[in-house]
Amino acid sequence: MKFAVIVFPGSNCDRDMYYAVTESLQEEAELVWYEDANLEDYDAILLPGGFSYGDYLRSGAIASTSPIVTEIKQRAEDGVPVLGVCNGFQVLLEAGLLPGAMLRNKELKFMCHQEELVVRNNQTQFTNGYSDQEKIVLPIAHGEGNYYCDENVLAELEANNQIVFTYSDNPNGSVADIAGIINKEGNVLGMMPHPERATDQLLGSADGLKLFKSVLNHWREAYVAGA
């Protein structure tokens, strides 16, 4: 399986994502510069964390207008799995690939520590390796991770089982303790915690590796079924 790790000016978790795929998952990955606009050769697309364009205007807002995001939208429509982590999640929101928006953390401070999450939906291609309601530990590192949506959007997310991860002890004020959501089609996931920083117990947790293994397992099953 071949992963594209998108690199924007200001990305700083792209190497972490690359390492998670190539070393922990033992699959192929390439760093793809934001000015490129061809993602046809990749089986999955990863948008890493960081501070794209210095977080000017709004986090992820400028990156969402990059040519490569147009290609990401097309690949997402084709069913290719897309994962956005932290700033990558913010880009997905700004691009309209996921509903809602990000606000400043409730305490108006940057937060960087481990957080316990609950897997609310393990029936996705990103979470099939987890147990239902499994508690996992992943690190967070953000200043604008306070997920917001109105009551109508929240009701829709809940009705469609699109809330994939929630915080056990909400650190940033996110609506309904939301830490990660998926699109209706089930192939675009955005989350604030960093699974790529939790793929080896040496890092304090290996719970993030199951997410990447889930993507790989789903791809293998789909490839074998379609072969």
d(CA 202, CA 39): 33
Tell me whether residue 30 is one of the annotated catalytic residues: no
Tell me whether residue 218 is one of the annotated catalytic residues: no
d(CA 91, CA 68): 12
Q: Are 142 and 111 in contact (CB under 8 A)?
A: yes
Largest distance between two CA atoms of the chain: 51
Of the residues 13, 27, 71, 86, only one is catalytic, namely: 86
Q: Are 213 and 25 in contact (CB under 8 A)?
A: yes
DSSP string, 151-206: HHHHHHHHHTT-EEEEESS-SS--GGGEEEEE-TTS-EEEESS-GGG-SBGGGTB-
Q: Are 5 and 29 in contact (CB under 8 A)?
A: yes
Q: Are 45 and 82 in contact (CB under 8 A)?
A: yes
Of the residues 71, 94, 115, 196, only one is catalytic, namely: 196
Tell me whether residue 27 is one of the annotated catalytic residues: no
d(CA 24, CA 129): 15
**Helices vs strands, H then E, count in the chain:** 5, 11
Of the residues 27, 71, 94, 194, only one is catalytic, namely: 194
Residue numbers annotated as active site: 86, 194, 196
